[in-house]
Structure 1
Amino acid sequence: MSKDNTQQDLGSESIIKLLIKFSIPAIIGMVVNMLYNVVDRMYIGNIPHVGGLAITGVGITMPVTQIITGFGMLVGIGTCASISIAFGKQNKKEAQRYLGNGLLGIITLSILVAVLGNLFAEQILILFGASENTLPYALSYIRPLLWGTICNLFAFGLNNSIRSDGNPKLSMLTMIIGAAINIILDPIFIFALDLGIQGAAYATVISQFIAGCWVLYYFTKSSKSSIKITLEDMKLDLGIMKNILVIGLAPFCMQFASSIVSVIANKSLMMHGGDLAIGAMAIITSISTIYIMPIFGINQGAQPIIGYNFGANKFERVRQTYMYSLIASTVFLFISFIFVQTFPYIAVGMFNNDPELTEITVSGMRLFLLSMPIIGIQMTASNYYQAVGKAKKAMVISLSRQIIFLIPCFLIIPRFLGLQGVWLAGPIADLLAIAFSSIFIFKEMRELKKMANDPELSMKSASPDLVA
């Protein structure tokens, strides 16, 4: 099958078949990509004599790693969505210009993050809640990751565009290559070479470097890519860069908001539960990531289908893709919720062998993840608006949980309920954000149905609000 036919299939093949074709590799890729941090924490939590404090140190670095990931999303998802919309308009040259400018953005941001991050690493970590006991572990882990930012952004950010190019399996393979190497290197660097927590960071950077080289090869030498990276397309185009950044702004803001939330949560956890409570939250976040990553995979699989069909004015296919992705997400999250609530000690035991930390984590996790079955509503809604280029609504929905609801919950509820209030802040914020997102997305689905049945209305309403 030709590359052009691969793109055209997005507008004609069965929606369910397309979701399976694009989402399964994306799910596998996201789950595998998740192993970078989760496997690190598994090994770190079991380092003899220091596991509890070490994993708390990693928990302190989470806001920093979230910001790094956010920069990958800012350029990566913005580039990915823009390429899909360009392909939907049958404009291959424009898609290639988006790819070149996306790469330019990644290189620029990587240099800034690496240099500034290392210059102010100690001050940032203290601001984020590091104590005298946990600061050395946090610094040992974050410095190598900061210097390796460009490897991270190549492997994660630019890899999204392989999926938009119609090759989801190759996008998945990129993540598998990196994560497999990380899993192999972790015990070697942490235990065999006795590098401890710093060894976990080295293993991550090396694995991301190799995955990043694979992505670069795909867009320069591989015969499977329909668009290529060229020096001409890497010349800064302010209009194209603006569109990339505007579309990618919503997921970036969501990650940045997550880092702010982590800082506030860490301070509240330290006040009401001490260092071990921060370690407990790091474990809970790792466990929830295991179940959330497949939803990101479903969303990533739906994104090129939604983007292409929106660009081609096939609005009923857009609506169906969203609804199927929501159903799949909800079913998966409900099954995950049952497991977490029924077998919490199995999940927590993978990350820790400290009995006191285990008890704090189990009691906290059962409360913090109470709303898990229905959070797919907000996640798929935000993804939909990103996919069609409606950046303003995507950003509002993305930030609703973190900024509008969760921060006030972290600041207010623990004043009355202590540590238990920190755990309850999560599900309360989720419920409020889900109700808020539902107002937007189900109205949008009704509008899509109207546009699908009225060609004149669709021509007036279809253009994405890339700037507004």
Structure 2
Amino acid sequence: MAQTETNIATKADQKRSARLGTQPVASLLAEYALPAIVAMIASSLYNIVDRIFIGNGVGPYAIAGLSIAMPIMNLTTAFGSMLGVGSSSLISIRLGQKRHEEAKQVLGTTFLLNMMVGLLVCVCGLIWLEPILRLFGASEQVLPYAKEFMQVILIANVFNHNFLGFNAVMRATGYPRKAMMSTFLTVIVNVVLAPLFIFVFDWGIRGAALATACAQFCGFVWVMTHFCNPKNDLHFEKKYFRLIGKVIADIVSIGSSNFLMHACTCIMVIILNSSLVHYGGAEGDMAIAAYGICNSVVMLFLMVVIGLNQGMQPIVGYNFGARLNERMMQAYRLTIVVATAVTTFGFLIGELFPRSIVSLFTNDETLIRLSTTCLRTILISFPVVGFQMVTTTFFQSVGKAAWSIFLSLSRQLIFLIPALIILPRMFGLSGVWAALPTGDILASVLTLIVIVLKMKQFTKVPRELTKETNIQL
């Protein structure tokens, strides 16, 4: 009886995956992207709420400490994200190719990798935490806040690795709403616990970190419950808990662009913070805090684009694996249109109401002034950012890791870091702010050139396959 139920569930999950190759692309994108978008917005709001609580409950230097800690936290989670993006893309392709057993092999290998990498990052991070924080620009005044926050985050790192990785796999295998609910769970836990720990228990920035760690653990339990259920087509099976070299190489290859983007962002932040301290003079720490505030606002809109990309990824990956190129390109083009509309809206909001937005985080007049200037400057390039992000994810979704890596790195390494070195020498602190949109605009131009040159590879449609599969475009 149990075996019969499992077989029925397996067929249902396979049918759910097969819809990616038959149902209208627009409805699929809405179905897969909307839950991801809601989850990403919730995740971004969770970071914004953290900064608002810390700014009003601890002070502006605590915001600066969080601004130092956040890119390091993002780097630690980038390992889990790399494995999640790589495995979810690979699983989508394998399901599109009807190679279900190989998809299960990817799942088992991903779990072992997440556990090993998560523990390694935790140990190394705790050992070298203070030198790393100083490298990222922490002054004596800011260091205690950043250190308190990161110690807690690193201890809980292994849970966050698995949560991020398997939440992406859950979404890619036909459970976008369930993936959304896992993110909602983490947001609710964090929003409830953060003010309690900061204001009631008076634990300061450590309380904010503890709230985040508790939220990540709850998310971990949620996704593990899903993949431990044998009624799901893709679930943990003992025989697949093996480290398979070819699978590891494929996961890392596909997901490495995501990780390298985070790594380059960290290099950029080191240079950025150094420039802010140098050209900000006596207001250097406040300039770092200002960038942290503006970055959290910007990420609210970029998270929508990331959610769109997460919705697009299984559609593009499945149809690429099934050789349904016309549907694949339709999903790509539609995602670009929506992403551009979102970033243009963010540009308008930020340019029209910058002071009102940043005043939510602090009542310190110096910090408000610096944040207002920063926000208006970095949003100049926002209307074209969505296109660049979607195209990078598109190459990743079809297994073109080299192009995805190249486009991911182009913004930071080729354009932004040189701009951060050159422009401040000419324009001081204003040059630091101006370097950010400069990198975005130049990277978008390069992305346009690459996709135009590669377009012919993705527009050839196998007509006989389209006729046989009763596809709705």
TM category (shorter chain) comes to: over 0.9
Give runs of aligned pairs for residues 383-462 of structure 1, distance below 5 A.
383-449=393-459, 451-452=460-461
Give, in whole Å, the separation in 1 of the partners of 2:13 and 2:25. Answer: 19
Give, in whole Å, the separation in 1 of the partners of 2:353 and 2:193. Answer: 30
Give, in whole Å, the separation in 1 of the partners of 2:271 and 2:220. Answer: 33
Question: Which residue, out of 251, 264, 269, partners 2:271?
Answer: 264
Question: Which residue, out of 247, 266, 272, partners 2:254?
Answer: 247
**Matched AA of 2:322:** A
Give the structure-2-normalised TM-score.
Answer: 0.94
Task: Give the structure 1 partner of residue 104 of structure 2.
Answer: 96
Q: Indicate if the aligned counterparts of 1:85 and 1:311 stay in contact, CA closer than 8 A.
A: yes
Give, in whole Å, the separation in 1 of the partners of 2:390 and 2:273. Answer: 28
Question: Which residue, out of 230, 242, 252, partners 1:235?
Answer: 242
Q: Indicate if the aligned counterparts of 1:254 and 1:399 stay in contact, CA closer than 8 A.
A: yes
Give, in whole Å, the separation in 1 of the partners of 2:452 and 2:43. Answer: 31
SS at match of 2:238: coil
**1:281 lines up with 2:291 in the alignment:** yes
Q: Indicate if the aligned counterparts of 1:36 and 1:204 stay in contact, CA closer than 8 A.
A: no
Task: Give the structure 1 partner of residue 32 of structure 2.
Answer: 22
Question: Which residue, out of 386, 411, 415, partners 1:376?
Answer: 386
Structure 1 gaps, min length 5: 457-468
Structure 2 gaps, min length 5: 1-10, 466-473
**Matched AA of 1:342:** L
Give, in whole Å, the separation in 1 of the partners of 2:162 and 2:47. Answer: 17
**1:59 lines up with 2:67 in the alignment:** yes
Q: Indicate if the aligned counterparts of 1:319 and 1:445 stay in contact, CA closer than 8 A.
A: no
Give, in whole Å, the separation in 1 of the partners of 2:450 and 2:171. Answer: 27
| Deviation for aligned residue 1:139 | 0.3
Question: Which residue, out of 365, 376, 383, partners 1:355?
Answer: 365
Give, in whole Å, the separation in 2 of the partners of 1:272 and 1:455. Answer: 63
SS at match of 1:17: helix
Q: Indicate if the aligned counterparts of 2:71 and 2:266 stay in contact, CA closer than 8 A.
A: yes
> Could you give the per-residue CA deviations for residues 30-52 of structure 1, whole angstroms, max 9, x where no partner exists?
111223422211111112xx411
**Matched AA of 2:77:** T
Q: Indicate if the aligned counterparts of 2:340 and 2:383 stay in contact, CA closer than 8 A.
A: yes
**Matched AA of 2:421:** L
**1:87 lines up with 2:62 in the alignment:** no
**1:155 lines up with 2:163 in the alignment:** yes
Task: Give the structure 1 partner of residue 222 of structure 2.
Answer: 214
Question: Which residue, out of 201, 204, 216, partners 1:196?
Answer: 204
Number of residue equivalences: 452
Larger mean Cα displacement after TM superposition, 359-368 or 28-37: 28-37
Alpha-carbon RMSD across the aligned residues, in angstroms, is 1.4
**Matched AA of 2:278:** M
Q: Indicate if the aligned counterparts of 1:151 and 1:209 stay in contact, CA closer than 8 A.
A: yes
SS at match of 1:392: helix
Give, in whole Å, the separation in 2 of the partners of 1:369 and 1:69. Answer: 26
| Deviation for aligned residue 1:355 | 1.3
Give, in whole Å, the separation in 1 of the partners of 2:237 and 2:18. Answer: 25
| Deviation for aligned residue 1:272 | 1.0
> Could you give the per-residue CA deviations for residues 66-113 of structure 1, whole angstroms, max 9, x where no partner exists?
211211221010010000000000111111111111111110111011
Give, in whole Å, the separation in 2 of the partners of 1:330 and 1:132. Answer: 41
> Could you give the per-residue CA deviations for residues 381-412 of structure 1, whole angstroms, max 9, x where no partner exists?
11001101110000000010011110011111
Give the structure-1-normalised TM-score.
Answer: 0.95
| Deviation for aligned residue 1:222 | 6.4
**Matched AA of 1:263:** I
**1:292 lines up with 2:302 in the alignment:** yes
Q: Spell out structure 1 runs of 4+ moving beyond 6 A.
A: none
Task: Give the structure 2 partner of residue 138 of structure 1.
Answer: 146
